[in-house]
Structure formats: C-alpha cells, structure tokens
Amino acid sequence: MAVWLAGTGQAEGPAGPVLFLDRDGVVIRDCDYLADPAAVEIIAGVGAAMVRARAAGFRIVGVSNQSGIGRGYFTEDDFGAVMARLAADLDRFGARFDGFYYCPHAPDAGCACRKPLAGLLTEAAADFRWDPSLSWLVGDKMSDLELGRAAGLGLALVRTGYGVAAESAVRKRWPADRRLLVADDLPAAVDAILARPEFAADGKSS
C-alpha cells in the first residue's frame, strides 16, 4: 500500500469521527485511469462539503484504488501530479485531506490493500484513531462499501461516478439500515451525516 499524505499528530487523543472518502466518482469526476492533472474536475459542492465536515469535527481521509499504476497505464509521479492539482483546487475552497492512502497494485497482484480488502484502513490506523460508530465511508462502488462495512463504519453511496449502477446491488445486498444511506453526491451525503443526532450539536456550533 502507499501513502500520499500521512496524518501527523492525529494518532493521539481520543478516537473521533473520520470521514473516509473514495476519490474518483466521489471527490472528482471519474475519468478512467486519470493521469492528467488538467483533467481534474472537483464535483460541484465537494470543497464546501469537506469544509462543513471538518467544522463538525471530522478528519477527512482518502482511500483510493489506483490500479492504473500497477497496470502500467501511468506512473506514481503522474498520480502525484494529479493529487497535487487536486489539493491545490481544494485549497481554493479552504478544503483539504488530513490523510490519503492508495493501492497502486494491479487487481491480479495479490496485494492486501486493493479495496474491498482492508489494507488501506490498516495503514490509516497507524496515523489516525477513529471511532467506527462516529465514522463514515463515502464511495461510489460496492467495493468501497464492503470495505467500510467490514470496518464497522457508516456507509454512504453516492450517485456520482458508478453510483447509479451500484445502487440496486447495494440495496439488494443490505437491507435498509440506519448506517447506510444513498445520496446524490458527496455534499448531500455530508449533509445527511451531519444531520444525524450524534452530530447535530457540533453541526450547529460550527
């Protein structure tokens, strides 16, 4: 597994809420095997939504499969250039990731970090402490949600990216559940999470 941004000083103190975000199809438009920084396009409202979540006490941690590296479609440097562009674009909204972990391996590499396997969360746990009952994972694919469910996180499927296709599969897989929601996009998912009783006080005070 690989780390683009390690949380520093986040592993001490009480375990709090962490918002785990898939990147492609959640934070930015999903272009297959994105390797061109000029093609980075933040989904509308995402920067402000990340700011709202941080104001409510969430740390924001990216977890992303980037098999294009292992497949030889692009390099680690290309990935880094895309991430630098994304970070600069988010910064214009005052938004940022607290940590970002990714799997660079091809699907047949037998690694332990390609979602839905748990390696990216294992890596994040070296840098962050979180309370699963207060923490959520937002993704656009079943593999995202499977990772989150295995870790006891709340789950939000968004309809940007692959979400529309994933929705019926998710609804078949898991019955309606207070910690599973489907939202049009990340801003709507964040609003729904922050409206929950356990976050209402923090949400109002920010």
Active centre residues (catalytic) = 22, 24
Query: Residue 149 binds what, of Mg ion, Zn ion, none (CB under 5 to 8 Å, by partner type)?
Result: none
DSSP one-letter string for 154-191: EEEEESTTTHHHHHHHHHHHS---TTEEEESSHHHHHH
Query: Residue 22 binds what, of Mg ion, Zn ion, none (CB under 5 to 8 Å, by partner type)?
Result: Mg ion
Cβ nearer to Zn ion, comparing 52 with 114: 114
Which stretch in 18-26, 42-50, 102-110, 161-169 sits in contact with Zn ion by CB under 5 A?
102-110
114 binds Zn ion (CB under 5 A): yes
Contact 143, 65 (CB under 8 A): yes
Which of 21, 43, 95, 103 binds Zn ion (CB under 5 A)? It is: 103
113 binds Zn ion (CB under 5 A): yes
**How deeply is 92 buried, as exposed, middle or buried, from its count of CB atoms within 10 A (0-12, 13-18, 19+)?**
exposed
The terminus-to-terminus CA distance of the chain in angstroms comes to 35
Cross-strand partners of 181: 156
- Supply the minimum distance, in Å, between the C-beta of residue 2 and Zn ion: 8
Query: Residue 103 binds what, of Mg ion, Zn ion, none (CB under 5 to 8 Å, by partner type)?
Result: Zn ion
